[in-house]
Structure formats: C-alpha cells, structure tokens
A and B are shown apart, each in its own frame.
Chain A
Amino acid sequence: MKKPRFVPINSKVNVIIILALVVGIGSISFYLTTEITTTIDELLADNLNQQSEILFAAIENFMIPGEAKLAVNFFETMVRSSADYSISLFRRNGKVAFSDETTIKQVIENAPAIASMFDTMAERITTKESVNEAYFQTAVGAPPLSVFFEEKTEDGATYFRAYKPLINLPKCTGCHGTDHTVRGVIDIRDDISGSRRQQLIAAYSAGGFFVGMVFLLAFILTGFMRKTVIKPIKIVGEVCAKVTDGQFDQRVTIKNNDEIGRLGNTVNKMVEGLHERFELSKYVSASTIGSLRDSKDGQVVSITMLFSDIRGFTAYSERNSPDKVVENLNRVLNVQTEIILANGGDIDKYVGDEIVAMFTGEDQCERACRSAIEIQKTFRENGGKSFDGLRLGVGINTGEVILGMIGSKKRADYTFIGDNVNTASRLCSAAQPGEILIADTTYAKTGAIFRVDGPFRLKAKGKDLYVKVYKLAGMKE
C-alpha cells in the first residue's frame, strides 16, 4: 500500500477555511446582490406599469366625443413634463399618433358635426419613436394585451418599455367607427441605464468586498489556528520526537488553557512517566523487559546463574552509619553490575546486598566465570581498600530452571526458580570471602579455560545430598 502524501494541517485548515468562506460569504453576497438587483428592477417595472396605467386612465377619460383637442393637449404636456419617461402614442398601424391628418379625416368623415374643431390640429406632434414590431403586434392583437419588456438600443442604453393598448370603446365608436378593437397603443419608456450601471457597481463592489473579506478572514482565522492549534501541536510533536531520542528533560510549554493546553500537560506527565520507567528499566533485567515484550509463558531452560553477596554485611551495617552503608552498598552493587552486563549477563534482582544474575546463550558458563573472576579481582585491588574492606562470596551454577513471570498481578518479575537456583545460592553462601565456587556442571564446560581447585563435596541446603563443587582460581595461562 502506498503511504499517503504528507499534507500539513496548515494547508488543510487553509483550504477548509477558504472554502467555507467562499461558499458562505459568496452565496450570501450572491444572493443579496441578485435579490437587490431584481428588487430594483421590479420596483422600476412596477413604477413604469403604474405610470402607464395612470396615463391610460387619463387618456381614456379625456377622449370625450368632440374633445380630442383636450386629449392632445394633455398628452403634449405629459410628454414634455416627464423627464424620466418618454411617452408616445401610436396608432394601431405603428405610426405615431397625431403626426398627420389621417385620423382627423376619418373622424370628420364619421362625425361631420365636429369637423370645425380640428382646423388647428394637424401635424403637431412629431416624435421619432419607432415601435418594437413583435411586442407591438401583441399589444394590438386579438385580444390586445399589455406588454412589458426590456430593450437595449444600439448606443448601449437599456430601457424598460410598456405597451398598453387603447381599446376602441363604445364611446369612441361614434367618431372612430366600429371596425376595429384597438385604437392605438400608449408607449412609455424608462431609461434604466443609470440604475443598471449602479446595480453593476453595487454588484462589483459587493464582489470586491467579498474577496477582501475572504482574504481578511482567512488571514485572521489561519493566524488564529496557527497560534492556537498548529504551533502547539508542533511543539508537542517536537517534544515527542526528542523524547523518542531519549531526551527526557524535554517538556511541552503551552500556555493555552484549552484542550491543547491539556494535551501538553498530559504529554508532560507521560514524558515524566516514561522517564521514570526508563530509569527503572536500568534496574530491571533485560530479559524481563524482553519477555514483557513478548510475554512468554513459563518454560524450562538451561542457564548459568551467578549469585554474589557481601560477607559479613550485617555486622558491617551495624558498625557504620546508614549513609555510609547505602553509599558503599551501592558502589559494590554498581561495580558488579557493570562487570556482569559487560560480560553479557542480566541482573535478575538485587536482594539486599546480594546480586542475582543470569547468563544465557552461548558460552554462558565462560562469561559467568569471567565476570566472577573480574569482580573478585576488582575487590582485591588496593589491598581491598577501595570498598571499605568489604569482601564478596560468589557462587555459580549451570542447569535447568523454570523461567517465567513470577509474582502477583500487581507486581511480577521475570525470574527463574528451581533446585538449580537453590544450589547456586547455596554455593554463594558457602564461598569464603574472595572465593568463587562453581558447580561441576559449570566446570564441565569451562575446565579447559580456567584454573580450579577441587572437587569438593558440598552439602546442599536442607537435603541429604552432596554436590560436587570447584573453587575457581583464575584463567589458565
């Protein structure tokens, strides 16, 4: 399986924050902008529609038989007065109303009685508006319908435009005849280019503001994240890395009083615990740790045991101050431990002034004996003065023992038991100060290398049994 690429939290957090901001602020700004622009458009459209309705009602009511002049005047005033809107009136054929005499002629023909009114009316209004053909046809169609549309002219202006059909009402038919339904179309136009421009500016500024906001917030948030999460985690990581390298003096220093602060404290406690355990492990035999790791059940193995203790230690401790006793005892144990470890042995335990060590594997007997010789040699140096005159007795035995985790659930040691253990202990206590006693099983494997005296017979403790032992004198030349 391929190892997934390392992606720093920083990048992930950045991506998530920016995404969240873009989606969040983006959708809101988009929604608001579109909502506002459509609302503005709707308002403009409503306004226009209202205007056209008012105009429609006014024109309709001014069209009293024989009073067309009134309507024309009104219309002219409207056209001139309104700056925002352009208003025009079209005949149903799309021609600008009042622009020529066609209608007047028709009216005079239909109602000769009112002909005298129109002598001054010809060609008074000359708007140059043109109609939007498709929409205009809807307005004059059957049925005639009001239309509202948006129009863009060639010069880039945008208009809202409304066509409203003027119906040939029964009251109109007297003058205008009955052969048509629609008299004309009111055209009212509103230039919304300005408003559109503003909407565009508003949309762009909202967009700009949005982008700025995203960057600012992203900056603030990532800064915050870096300070509160990422940096502390980095510190924790660094401490953990150093602890892994064995630097137990490292501590996490995070001042945050939050989950990460707590994590720091926990890590610190953990490091302390690790440190303690590490220190402890110095005193726990390597095989204990090893077996703890793979937790084997009890088994019978052949090992070489080395027991060593101080002769006359009880009397010594009574003679001397506790400080001195502890100091010297530690020195004694320390120097032996070092020698044993250097020879590939394991310290099984310290029992008071006694050391119990074991040697396993190849040439275990030789290494045990060598350790014993070195230990005794160290204690003989300086005329035995280095260790305040303290002397050791050492016993070595080789044989089968039961190895296993022995003890209660709360506290257990990986150690060995069996008759051969007792024999080794017995050999140790039987050894005179400065002496090393080895069992014949050990001798059998080392006789070629070491000089020995013996054999002697030694009564095993609590048994009517004698074992064959040798006194180890030194290396053969």
Chain B
Amino acid sequence: MKPGAWILLITALLFVAGCTGKTPANLVPADYSLWASTVDAPLVYEIPGHTMDIRKIYINETGTRLEVRETGGEVFHEYPEGTIILKENYRAQESDRPAMLTAMIKARKDPRARGGWIWVAKDTAAGEERIFSDEFCFTCHQNANEQHPYGDGNRNGDFRDFVFYPWNPPDGE
C-alpha cells in the first residue's frame, strides 16, 4: 500500500473510533460550589431515586432570575434558558467529596431534554456524565409540580417547573 493510503486508512479508523466512542457530555460545570443554594442546610432524609444520604443543591446565576407568574389563580414557575440546578449527592461514610452530581439544565430546544430540562448525572469518581432522556428523572420530578412530601410540599400544587426546592431569594433582596 502507498503511504497515502495508509494515512487515509488510519484517519478513517480514528474517525470511526471517535464516532463510536462515548461522547463526553461535559455539561456539569466545575465551579458550581460558588453558586447560591436553594436549601438552607444539607438534606439528609431518605428519598428514592438519588439513593444517597446527604444532598446539597446549587443554582447558577441565570437560575436565580426565575420568573413566577400567576394566571387564573394558578402559579407558574419558569426558569430561564441556561439555568443549571445541581445537586451534590454524598454517601454518609465519605462526606468530604460527593459521590454523584445530578443536574437539571434548562435547554428547551435540546432533543435530549424532557420537560425543558436536560437531566444529567455525573459519577465523580469516574468523571463520567450520563444524560437521561427517558422517563427516569423526568417522571419523578413531575411530582414537584403537585403536592409532594419534600421541602415546602408545594401545598397549592403550583407548577414548579419540575423543581422540588424552588429558588427563593434570600431575605432582604
């Protein structure tokens, strides 16, 4: 084979390998710890789904511009495009580092989004992100839009945009 052909073949193989390999999602930002939090203290009660013992929730600056509207007696929450709400999930026995990060990213037009959010989980040890486009995250978070047992419980059944702990501006703002 001519050297040109070799180069072509190798590039083609690399290209194919690149296509079939996992797409590194990289949706979860690293500097989230500087963000505001939607909870006053770490959450420690048991919930299904996240299966971790301690949770802390962060919201990026865009998310704090949450819009709350009221139409016909119904309250609607709407987070602006680009909002990232991120939850650190710790195991009780190793509280120095979260074992998993779960995040909701507002991207209405993204084909991977459900309910306007991209649902992503990051295994911090492996550094791997995984997007959930099926029911799993989405169906459970549908419960945030009706009465539920967490936080303020959403007693009035507001549309909370799938968020259990909505952003509340700190007092004095």
Which residues of A come within 8 Å of B, CB atoms? 56, 60, 142-146, 164-165, 167-171, 173-174, 178-181
Structural contact, A144 and B136, CB atoms closer than 8 A: yes
Assess A146 versus B134: contact at CB under 8 Å? Given A167-B49, A170-B148, A170-B149. Answer: yes
Structural contact, B149 and A174, CB atoms closer than 8 A: yes
Which residues of B come within 8 Å of A, CB atoms? 45-49, 51, 121, 132, 134-136, 139-140, 142-144, 146-150, 164
Q: Name the distance in Å between B2's Cβ and chain A's nearest Cβ.
A: 30
Structural contact, A171 and B46, CB atoms closer than 8 A: no
Q: Name the distance in Å between B108's Cβ and chain A's nearest Cβ.
A: 22
Measured CA separation A174–B153 after assembly (Å):
13
Structural contact, A169 and B140, CB atoms closer than 8 A: yes
Task: Give the chain A neighbours of B148 by CB distance below 8 A.
Answer: 170-171
Assess A168 versus B48: contact at CB under 8 Å? Given A173-B149, A174-B149. Answer: yes
Measured CA separation A142–B51 after assembly (Å):
9
Measured CA separation A231–B134 after assembly (Å):
70
> Can you add 11 more A-B contacts, CB < 8 Å, to A178-B47, A181-B49?
A60-B139, A143-B121, A143-B136, A145-B136, A146-B135, A167-B49, A167-B136, A170-B143, A170-B148, A170-B149, A171-B146
Structural contact, A178 and B139, CB atoms closer than 8 A: no
**DSSP class of B's interface residues: helix, strand, loop or mixed?**
loop
Structural contact, B46 and A178, CB atoms closer than 8 A: yes
Task: Give the chain A neighbours of B140 by CB distance below 8 A.
Answer: 167, 169-170
Task: Give the chain A neighbours of B135 by CB distance below 8 A.
Answer: 56, 146, 164, 167
Structural contact, A143 and B47, CB atoms closer than 8 A: no
Task: Give the chain A neighbours of B51 by CB distance below 8 A.
Answer: 142, 181
Task: Give the chain B neighbours of A56 by CB distance below 8 A.
Answer: 135
Measured CA separation A169–B162 after assembly (Å):
13
List 15 A-B residue pairs with CB atoms under 8 Å apart, sorted by A's residue number: A143-B121, A143-B132, A144-B136, A145-B136, A146-B134, A146-B135, A164-B135, A167-B135, A170-B164, A171-B146, A174-B149, A178-B46, A179-B46, A179-B48, A181-B51
Task: Give the chain A neighbours of B48 by CB distance below 8 A.
Answer: 167-169, 173, 178-181
Measured CA separation A178–B143 after assembly (Å):
15
Task: Give the chain A neighbours of B134 by CB distance below 8 A.
Answer: 145-146
Task: Give the chain A neighbours of B150 by CB distance below 8 A.
Answer: 170
Measured CA separation A13–B121 after assembly (Å):
65
Q: Which residue of B lies closest to A53 (CB)?
A: B135
Q: Name the distance in Å between B30's Cβ and chain A's nearest Cβ.
A: 23
Measured CA separation A267–B118 after assembly (Å):
82
Measured CA separation A146–B133 after assembly (Å):
11
Measured CA separation A164–B146 after assembly (Å):
23
Q: Name the distance in Å between B89's Cβ and chain A's nearest Cβ.
A: 12
Structural contact, B143 and A171, CB atoms closer than 8 A: yes
Structural contact, A170 and B139, CB atoms closer than 8 A: no
Measured CA separation A60–B136 after assembly (Å):
13
Measured CA separation A179–B45 after assembly (Å):
11
Measured CA separation A171–B147 after assembly (Å):
8
Q: Name the distance in Å between A76's Cβ and chain B's nearest Cβ.
A: 23
Measured CA separation A81–B163 after assembly (Å):
38
Task: Give the chain B neighbours of A180 by CB distance below 8 A.
Answer: 48
Measured CA separation A443–B46 after assembly (Å):
145
Assess A170 versus B46: contact at CB under 8 Å? Given A143-B132, A143-B136. Answer: no
Q: Name the distance in Å between A368's Cβ and chain B's nearest Cβ.
A: 77
Q: Name the distance in Å between B138's Cβ and chain A's nearest Cβ.
A: 10
Structural contact, A167 and B46, CB atoms closer than 8 A: no
The 4 closest A-B pairs by CB, nearest first: A168-B48, A170-B143, A170-B148, A178-B46
Measured CA separation A60–B140 after assembly (Å):
10
Task: Give the chain A neighbours of B164 by CB distance below 8 A.
Answer: 170
Structural contact, B47 and A170, CB atoms closer than 8 A: yes
Measured CA separation A127–B3 after assembly (Å):
66
Measured CA separation A60–B139 after assembly (Å):
9
Q: Which residue of A lies closest to B139 (CB)?
A: A167
